[in-house]
Amino acid sequence: MTLATTLRDLHVPGTPVVLPNAWDAASARMVEEAGFPAVATSSFATATILGYDDGESAPVDDVLAATARIARTVSVPVTVDFERGFRLAPAELVERFVATGAVGLNLEDSDPATGAMVEAGEQAEFLAAVRAAAGADLVINARVDTFIRRAGAPEEQLRSAIDRANRYLAAGADCVYPIGTSDPDVIQSLVKEISGPVNVSFGQGDRSLAELAGLGVARITFGPMLQRHLYDRLAGAVLPALVAGENPFLS
């Protein structure tokens, strides 16, 4: 069984794979050692450790090198938030990405530079070309950005998300990721009307893992939430205590 097959098989509606998002080799190793069956990354968190803003600002060579370091550090499947592919043509994208050792990737349907939604048919064609180049070697998680980009009224966002998700699955995506909603009624509608596995984000913890599983999702991710939590602790408590001459490690 390949790592891609292992990752693909973890996507079970109602019994979701939980993927804490890592940002470097050390955090990826911690995720694996904690017992999680796969490692995901966050583009925001990875860009931060590379010294760039999110939104494909980091050079693709740096992102791929960071991905390769993570993949060779752990033995479980690695899936990467690859934004919209850094403007690589599908064949080159697949060739360079597969060489890192990672076996899954997120591809979003809005332009990271402008925030504009990509036309659904164009995105479906892009995903189909990636699938054709990759065969079964990559698990494609197609991100749907209608909620975070506020593309229309709430009901329009929902209908568009469902339509886009089903198009992307038909084009060869393994899973879809309608990012940006934590409303249980919306999530339930997405799961009911989308003909494949649905990934949701944990958000700020307004829904428990058990509640999200009960809604029928197949994958739960955290984006940069874990990194932000640790870095906020460092910036908000540890460093100020040191500046004040106190020992922050006693409490």
pLDDT of res. 203: 78
Residue 88 to residue 162: CA distance in whole angstroms: 27
Query: CB-based burial of residue 250 (10 Å sphere; 0-12 exposed, 13-18 middle, 19+ buried)?
Result: exposed
Q: What is the full per-residue pLDDT of the chain (251 aa) written as tens digits? A: 799 999 999 999 999 999 999 999 999 999 999 999 999 999 999 999 999 999 999 999 999 999 999 999 999 999 999 999 999 999 999 999 999 999 999 999 999 999 999 999 999 999 999 999 999 999 999 999 999 999 889 999 999 999 999 999 999 999 999 999 999 999 999 999 999 999 999 976 678 999 999 999 999 999 999 999 999 999 999 999 999 999 999 86
Two tokens at 104?
A: 């899954």
Q: Transcribe 154-215 into DSSP letters.
A: HHHHHHHHHHHHHHHHHTT-SEEEETT---HHHHHHHHHHSSS-BEEE-TTSSS-HHHHHHT
| Whether pTM exceeds 0.75 | yes
